[in-house]
Chains A and B, each alone.
Chain A
Amino acid sequence: MNLIGPKSIASKAHLVLKVVFILAVVRVLLMSIVPVLAPVLPYRSLQHVSFDVRSGPLFVSFDLLRGTEARWWIWAMELVSRTYQAVVLYLLMRILAPAGLGEPFDLKTPSRLRIMGCVVILGSVLRTLFCAQLLKLGLQPEPGVWISWAIDFDTIFMGIVLFVLAEVFRRGYALKTENELTV
């Protein structure tokens, strides 16, 4: 099976990403209505809110935070985190669409990659700010859990790599156009 083109791995991955993106949007919508449902829905059903801080998954018990200001910060952090994940999935899906049609160098791919880079870096900075706020509120994480306000350089580096990739795709598109107009 080919990597790029119709009926290739890229086209199948595009379909999979479409489904994952829809699920991500549903998850964001559900997350956003949690506060509305809060008086009705017992928090026990949402016992654990998970989010990623630096390298490992972080689990904070929602029960422990009931009635505290930190609960809302965690909710906001989770919502922002999931939203930016959905945006990244959407952009990835749009980048894979032309590759699935056999034309990986698309006019809009460089700008999509640049937006993805911005979103990744912004998400990392926001997560750091949220963590700093949680520490300020005196949140005591569970044993084995680590909350840090340290800047996540790994993610920022990934964002910079996306900017470089955007430039690679921009040049690829320019070469493709050049080649198409060579007779």
Chain B
Amino acid sequence: MAIRIHLDRVMLERGISLTELAGRVGITLANLSILKSNKARAIRFSTLDALCRELNCSPGDILKYDSSGGGRSESPL
């Protein structure tokens, strides 16, 4: 997938740990880790909303479209 998550960079800039962010956003550490390591297939608007609120950023700071590092797009079914 060509969508890249730059959560680690934003977290580093804000000086917040994964555990702390998971607690503030209200999702499990495992799920936040899946998101951070680019393994997630989808993200809920509510999660994105909470991440942007806690990190004081916009969705574009976290999600980036990288056409070069595409790989194959996976069909949902």
Residues from chain B with a CB closer than 8 A to the CB of A181 are: 34, 39-42
Interface size on A, residues (CB 8 A): 8
Query: Interface on chain B toward A: helix, strand, loop, or mixed SS?
Result: loop
In chain B between 39 and 54, which residues have their CB closer than 8 angstroms to a CB of chain A?
Answer: 39-44, 47
| Cα–Cα distance between A177 and B35 once the two chains are bound (Å) | 15
How big is chain B's contact interface, by range? Answer: 10 to 19
Residue of B nearest to A177 (CB): B41
Q: Which 10 A-B pairs have the closest CB atoms?
A: A181-B41, A182-B42, A183-B31, A183-B35, A174-B77, A183-B40, A171-B77, A181-B40, A183-B47, A183-B43
Known: A178-B42, A181-B34, A182-B43. 7 other contacts (CB 8 A): A174-B77, A175-B77, A182-B41, A182-B44, A183-B27, A183-B34, A183-B47
14 pairs from A and B in contact (CB 8 Å cutoff): A174-B76, A177-B41, A178-B41, A178-B42, A181-B34, A181-B39, A182-B40, A182-B41, A182-B43, A183-B31, A183-B34, A183-B40, A183-B42, A183-B44
A interface residues (Cβ-Cβ under 8 A, vs B): 171, 174-175, 177-178, 181-183
